[in-house]
Amino acid sequence: MSMEVSTYSSNGNSMNSDAAESRDTLYLLGGAALIVFGAGLILSTPVVRKMLGGVGIGNLISAAGPDFERYLKLRSM
pLDDT tens for 11-69 read 555 557 888 889 999 999 999 999 999 998 888 888 887 777 766 666 777 777 888 88
Q: What are phi and psi of 6, to 5 degrees?
A: -125, 150
Instruction: Name residue 75's beta-bridge partners.
Output: none
Residue-level pLDDT at 69? 87
Pairing between β-strand 14-16 and β-strand 6-8 as defined by DSSP bridges: antiparallel
- What angle is formed at CA 19 by the lines to CA 14 and CA 20, rounded to 5 degrees? 70
CB 22 within 8 A of CB 9: no
Within the chain, where are the H helices?
A: 17-43, 46-53, 57-76
Residue-level pLDDT at 48? 80
